[in-house]
Amino acid sequence: MEEVIEEGNKLDYEYLAFTEHNPSRSKHTDTQIVEILKRKREKVDQLNYSLKKEETYGIHKVFNSLEIDILPDGSLPVPDAGMDTLDFALVSIHSSFELNREQMTRRVLLALSHPKVKIFAHPTARKLNEREGVELNWPEIFDFCLKHNKWIEINADPMRLDLPDTLVHEAVKAGVKLTLGTDAHSASGLLNMPYGVSVARRGWAKASDIINTRNLTEFEKLLERR
């Protein structure tokens, strides 16, 4: 975490979020999942205490988040006690890609309904040159996000670039707010960001359409909205 913060400082970021994948339910009990997430919460709190105490340039706060698998029935494999440790959560599809459009849309909307969930991450689940994206009813997804203050990610990993530019354009026209995420699995992954910015530009998105172009105070206020 310290290495990621150091890289964020070099990029002159004011804040960032740690959004690693949820602990595997097949390998952990609910009690173990909650314990893992509580330990991470403690670590993030320690980091924020240090950042506040040092009053350094760059990163002033790190957010405790999690990218959570959307199970085939739309449920989330993290107990409520684990969700309570988070500042906010992302949800994403990592399995059962063969569901039809109606089933997949229902699955996503159910996951997005959880009050801790703010972001639909790499929403088509495509992998370039490897896997096509899933079928979703995008007008219905956009409408839900507008009504419930949910955001859609533009994933900057070069093998994803997801939300695709054509859907970015549709989202912007609908008034849906987007986020830019690097999908970084190490400090160097933060350097993915320009790829995501390029996708946003091709979709005619402006800085005002991207939630994490806001400063820290504005971002925190947007997180509080339900």
The domain segmentation of the chain, as residue ranges, is 68-224
The predicted structure's pLDDT at residue 25:
83
Chain centre distance of CA 86: 12
Predicted structure pTM score: 0.96
State the number of CA atoms in the 13 A half-sphere of 176 facing the CB: 28
Tell me if residue 96 falls in helix, strand or coil.
Answer: coil
pLDDT at position 56, please?
61
Class of CATH domain 68-224:
alpha beta
Copy the structure tokens of residue 69: 């698998």
pLDDT score, position 199: 98
Give pLDDT tens digits along the chain (226 positions).
Answer: 999 999 999 999 999 999 999 998 889 999 999 999 999 999 999 999 999 876 667 899 999 999 999 999 999 999 999 999 999 999 999 999 999 999 999 999 999 999 999 999 999 999 999 999 999 999 999 999 999 999 999 999 999 999 999 999 999 999 999 999 999 999 999 999 999 999 999 999 999 999 999 999 999 999 988 7
Q: Are 174 and 144 a contacting pair, CB within 8 Å?
A: no
φ, ψ (nearest 5 deg) of residue 132: -70, 160
